Chain A
Amino acid sequence: MFEAEPGLIIWTWLCFGVLLALLSKFAYKPIVAFLDSRAASIQEELEGSEAKRKEAEDLLVKYKTQLDEGRLEVQKMIEEGRAVGEKLKREIVDKAADESKGLVKKAQEEIDREKKKALMELQEQVAELSVQVASKMIQDTLQPKDHEKLIEDALAQVKENYAKA
């Protein structure tokens, strides 16, 4: 067991040498190259994801700023809208008041005009009735009392007409 065996020594070197040559060519090279390339790609992906994370953070900050700005803008728009609304409301109310005043005034004028017209018609009727009365009196002998009565009747007629109008 302890004797030197030159044949065994040569076989050992041969076996080891063959294994070293085979593994170097067919196993280590592809495995090490694969491990290195995978490590490099993982490193690359990590760096890429880091850059993307930074980009996302920047975007988040940007969007937050934009959101805050938007919020302020919306607030401002609401305030402006409210002010415009208030102004419009006041204008509409004022306009409505003016229009109603105009309408009342117009109605008043219409009433006055109708009143005048009615009075004129009344005068015409009175005159006509006076003519009719006069012609009647001419036909009949009229006493002073008759005159008085006729005038009163005529006036009563006018009043009645006026009330109807």
Chain B
Amino acid sequence: MAEGSSGGGGAMDPLQNFEIHPLVEIQLGGLDLSITQPVLWMMIAVAVVFGVLTFVASTLKRSPKGLQNFIEMTVEFLRKDLVHAVVGEEGKNWFPFIATLFLFIATCNLLGLIPGSFTATSNINVTASLAIMVFVFVQFAGIKKKGLIGYAKGLVPSGIPKPILVIMIPIEIVSLLVKPFSLAVRLFANMLAGHMVIYVFLGMIILFKSVILTPLPFMGVVIMYAFEIFVALIQAYIFAVLTASYLSDALHEGH
């Protein structure tokens, strides 16, 4: 997060902190697969989540303490209060997918708060690819459950006169496509905006060049940081809960 910004110009342009640069150049058949900052921090997130969960999974005790207690609480929350509560009994098979979404996004968001790191979810490509993946999986689940025709019928409310269907079908299709778009933009915009506000406050410290005024933006940074921790978790939860909700719509009788 605290990269760049050596000169006054950098401090005044917070967006430059979100520009991605290749750290390791990889070209594969004309496709640029270079490891950039978001890729690196996603890999770190994968390692952190996998490391913590497998460590807990391999040292499970009947009377949980500390980290095991926290992981158990998180897993139970995701399993019962999120997946089961929203999707129902059918959501059982989808628990790993939704739980991984939450853990991956939350970890990426929280890692982005470490000074010098990069928030992978502040890049639209990352959030959009996650949202597209959710969209594809949800459609796949719906089609698998109801069949292609049954699923297509379920998209439009039943008992609607045919002339109105002409209007309804495009609306429903747009509504369907808007879902992944909103998923992607919500997460990206929240993470970008929160971090930008922090950069703006930091920029103010440099801009003011005043010991007397410095505490004001500094307080702003501290407050925003605390708020960003909350936002990081809440945005991951929103992404996961909306995925569960879309899945529930796809699996159950619509409208």
- Contact with A7, one of B31, B72, B128, B130 (Cβ below 8 angstroms): B31
A34 touches B60 (CB 8 A): yes
User: Chain B residues with Cβ under 8 A from A60's Cβ?
Assistant: none
Assuming the contacts A19-B100, A23-B96, asked whether A6 and B49 have C-beta atoms less than 8 A apart, the reply is no
Assuming the contacts A1-B18, A12-B42, A12-B129, asked whether A23 and B75 have C-beta atoms less than 8 A apart, the reply is no
A13 touches B129 (CB 8 A): yes
Residues of chain B in range 47-68 having any CB-CB distance to chain A below 8 Å:
49-50, 53-54, 56-58, 60, 62
A10 to B72, CA, bound (A): 31
B18 touches A19 (CB 8 A): no
- Contact with A16, one of B18, B72, B133 (Cβ below 8 angstroms): B133
Output the nearest chain A residue to B75 by Cβ-Cβ distance.
A31
Task: Digitize A16-54: 1 where CB-to-B-CB distance is under 8 Å, 0 elsewhere.
Answer: 101110111011101110110010000000000000000
A35 to B56, CA, bound (A): 12
Output the nearest chain A residue to B80 by Cβ-Cβ distance.
A35
A24 to B18, CA, bound (A): 32
User: Does residue A77 face the partner (Cβ distance < 8 Å to B)?
Assistant: no
User: Does residue B97 face the partner (Cβ distance < 8 Å to A)?
Assistant: yes
User: Chain B residues with Cβ under 8 A from A5's Cβ?
Assistant: 20, 32, 36, 123, 125
Number of interface residues of B (CB under 8 A): 49
Output the nearest chain A residue to B99 by Cβ-Cβ distance.
A28
Assuming the contacts A23-B100, A30-B60, A35-B75, asked whether A8 and B123 have C-beta atoms less than 8 A apart, the reply is yes
A10 touches B33 (CB 8 A): yes
Q: How far does the Cβ of B13 sit from chain A's closest Cβ, in whole Å?
A: 12
A19 touches B49 (CB 8 A): yes
Assuming the contacts A13-B129, A38-B62, asked whether A31 and B71 have C-beta atoms less than 8 A apart, the reply is yes
User: Chain A residues with Cβ under 8 A from B97's Cβ?
Assistant: 20
A77 to B249, CA, bound (A): 80
B31 touches A22 (CB 8 A): no
A3 to B160, CA, bound (A): 41
Q: How far does the Cβ of B11 sit from chain A's closest Cβ, in whole Å?
A: 18
Q: How far does the Cβ of B39 sit from chain A's closest Cβ, in whole Å?
A: 4
User: Does residue A163 face the partner (Cβ distance < 8 Å to B)?
Assistant: no
A9 to B62, CA, bound (A): 41
A22 touches B20 (CB 8 A): no
Residues of A within 8 A of B (CB): 1-2, 4-13, 15-16, 18-20, 22-24, 26-28, 30-32, 34-35, 38
18 A/B residue pairs, CB under 8 Å, sorted by A: A1-B19, A1-B124, A4-B125, A8-B126, A9-B128, A9-B129, A10-B31, A11-B33, A15-B42, A15-B104, A16-B101, A19-B49, A20-B100, A22-B54, A27-B50, A27-B53, A31-B71, A31-B75
